[in-house]
Structure 1
Amino acid sequence: MKHPYRIREIAAQSGLSPATVDRVLHRRGGVRASTVREVEQAIADLDRQQSQLRLGGRTFMVDVVVQAPARFSAGVRAALEAELPGLRPAVIRSRFHFLDSAGAGDLVAVLDKVGRAKSHGVILKAPDVPDTVASVARLARLGVPVVTLVTDLPTSARAAYVGIDNRAAGATAAYLLQEWLAERAGDVLVVRGHGSFRGEDEREMGFRAEMRARAAGRRLLEVVDEEDRADAVHIGTREVLGGNPAVRAVYSMYAGAGGNAAVIDAFARAGRRYDVFVAHDLDGENTALLRQRRLSAVLHHDLRQDLRRACHVIMQARGALPGPVRSNPSAIQVITPYNTPPAEF
């Protein structure tokens, strides 16, 4: 396993002991395959962060813990690593812990491990459940500041939240739908995820409140994206369309890989058309659908800016930057086919 790094650098990056890293590097045996993979991942992370390692200044080790589909986790990694060279005055090193459809116990185990690994701060995307809140409290008692990303844990001991104002985003979606539909009658298909993420709940609350205020006569019909299964979205959409001939609009507050395309295909197979389709997040799939005029608008926020702000909060909490530690929601960007930038991830 060739590499140019000292054992203690790899140990710091992986969160393992130097002795364990030494055993893995020299193939001495007695280590689990998962531990070998952790060392390999640490070396790969160090390779990507070479330019950051050459910078001077105080060094912070930040752990990024994300429970989300792989496409979102990959976007978080790419966005943070793109920001690392420009962060000042400190040098930020990052360790990534990605959990795809993990149970609450798996997430708690990761957060507890981070607490033992001399972390300077945690950037966390996780469901708002008691076990997660308790884990954040344990990290806070250890002096490890936690910044929640894109979905909040407002009752926890987190230092701050960074990301979009989800309630305002839901209300914005309702406003756009109603403006597009104007006086035309029609019901709305709402696609949401299955889980306990506060951000998605807040989007739904904002959306429903604005729809009640502006369009009390429209029915909202729900399809749940079960564990990022596009086929489940397709089946659910066909069932809704089969029993509801008045569906004229779609709001996708969350859909995993292929989910929005599955909705569009279900309309086509049923011989139906929609007047407006509003979705969230400008990933590669939604960018393509926008350019094809199959989405009307995407509500987006700058993930790189969110991660830069999260690092600044950690530095503030550690005394490396001046100013109060506080939440600062991102601006909501309304992206249409006419102002679509290159895909962010």
Structure 2
Amino acid sequence: MSHPFLVKDIAFQAGLSTATVDRVLNGRPGVRRQTEMRVKAAIAELEKQQAGAGISGRTLVIDIVMEAPERFSNAVRSAFEAEVATFLPMVFRCRFHFAEVMKPSELVQLLDRIRLRGTHGIVLKAPDIPEIAAAVERATKAGITVVTLVTDLPNSSRAAYAGADNRAAGETAAYLIGSSFDGADARVLVTLSSGRFRGEEEREIGFRRVLRERYPQIGVTEISEGHGTDVATGTLAARSIAADATINAVYSVGGGNRAVLAAFEAAGRPIRIFVAHDLDADNRALLAAGKIGFVLHHDLRTDARSAFRAIMSGQVNGRSAPAMLSAVEIITSYNMPVVT
């Protein structure tokens, strides 16, 4: 496998031992396909960083750790990779650790491995549970700057939060749905990926508060623990639709929108209004096709920029950065921003 990099640099990028990387590079037996792919991905990432780092400067290694559906993880990866070039001569070397579903114990083990292996910063999207807060505390004590992304861990020692005001986003969704019914009775299917994420909980709190105060004639049916995946979310949605003939609107907090739409279509049930989050590839296509009405979007590149700045502040200046909120935009098929 031809490359211009030191084995130790590839190992650091891939999160593997130098001996394992050496076996892969020299085509020795006993290496799993997954390990080989990790080495190839690490070399590709190093090549990309080398191409964009023509100016010498300090290098900060950061690990982006997320439990999220692949469509959202892909959007986050693109945002962080795009923002890296804007910080030259400071160079950020990003290592991505994504999974659609992780047990808390697996996530804690991953965070501890990253801490022991060494990193300057961790950007973390994870459940707000004591085990994760404890792992963040261990990382902070080791001198690692931790920034939470899109969902916060306010009771942890994280340095900053990068993302939107989730409660305001939920309130905005309630306003859009409430206005569309103009005083008529309705019932909204609210889909959460998991009740463990504080960001989703805050969206739901904001949503329910505005409905309760301004649109009391609108009821809510909640589904959760589909983890934003199509199969699980679609099954939960179909079950709720079959049980309640009055459901005629959707507020998708946690994704799986194609599956939710398919469940309504299979049941022959119309949707008066569908409000979703995040302008990922799926939602772009659904907006363009008129399948969903609104996407509440915040710019992930802004979030990436905020995370980079917080880590720079922590590692270069030794100071914690304040919480940073990105603006929530209401996107329709008529004002979708162009992909750059």
TM-score, reference length from structure 1: 0.90
Counterpart-to-counterpart distance in 1, 2:303 and 2:233: 29
Q: Which runs of 5+ in 2 are unaligned?
A: none
Please state if 1:244 is matched with 2:244. Answer: yes
- CA change 1:89–1:45 in 2 (3 A) is closer
Aligned pairs for 1:46-195 (under 5 A) are 46-195=46-195
> Which letter maps to 1:326?
P
Counterpart-to-counterpart distance in 1, 2:172 and 2:133: 29
Which whole-Å deviations, capped at 9, do the CAs of 1:103-157 have from their partners, x for residues lacking one? 1122112111111222111111111112111110000010001001111111111
> Which letter maps to 1:64?
I
Equivalent residue in structure 1 for 2:269, among 267, 272, 281:
272
Count of residues in Structure 1 that have an aligned counterpart in Structure 2: 340
> Which letter maps to 1:49?
Q
The CA RMSD measured in Å over matched residues stands at 2.3
- CA change 1:34–1:290 in 2 (3 A) is closer
Counterpart-to-counterpart distance in 2, 1:182 and 1:341: 29
Matched-pair identity in %: 45
SS of the residue corresponding to residue 163 of structure 1 reads strand
Counterpart-to-counterpart distance in 2, 1:82 and 1:229: 26
- CA change 1:8–1:269 in 2 (3 A) is closer
Counterpart-to-counterpart distance in 2, 1:118 and 1:239: 46
Q: Per-residue deviation at 1:210?
A: 1.2
Identify the range of structure 1 (67-76 vs 299-308) with the bigger mean alpha-carbon deviation. Answer: 67-76
SS of the residue corresponding to residue 319 of structure 1 reads helix
Identify the range of structure 1 (25-34 vs 262-271) with the bigger mean alpha-carbon deviation. Answer: 25-34
Identify the range of structure 1 (93-102 vs 304-313) with the bigger mean alpha-carbon deviation. Answer: 93-102
> Which letter maps to 1:164?
A
- CA change 1:107–1:239 in 2 (3 A) is closer
Q: Counterpart in 1 of 2:323?
A: 327
- CA change 1:144–1:202 in 2 (3 A) is same
Which whole-Å deviations, capped at 9, do the CAs of 1:39-90 have from their partners, x for residues lacking one? 3332121122232343311111111111112222222221111111111441
Q: Per-residue deviation at 1:246?
A: 2.7
- CA change 1:139–1:225 in 2 (3 A) is closer
Counterpart-to-counterpart distance in 2, 1:159 and 1:7: 32
Identify the range of structure 1 (141-150 vs 284-293) with the bigger mean alpha-carbon deviation. Answer: 284-293
Which whole-Å deviations, capped at 9, do the CAs of 1:184-240 have from their partners, x for residues lacking one? 222211111135111111111111111111112321012335244434433433443
Q: Counterpart in 2 of 1:341?
A: 337
Identify the range of structure 1 (26-35 vs 263-272) with the bigger mean alpha-carbon deviation. Answer: 26-35
Please state if 1:220 is matched with 2:217. Answer: no
Counterpart-to-counterpart distance in 1, 2:37 and 2:262: 39
Counterpart-to-counterpart distance in 2, 1:294 and 1:40: 38
Q: Which runs of 5+ in 1 are unaligned?
A: none
TM-score, reference length from structure 2: 0.92
Counterpart-to-counterpart distance in 1, 2:265 and 2:284: 20
Equivalent residue in structure 1 for 2:305, among 304, 308, 320:
308
- CA change 1:194–1:22 in 2 (3 A) is same
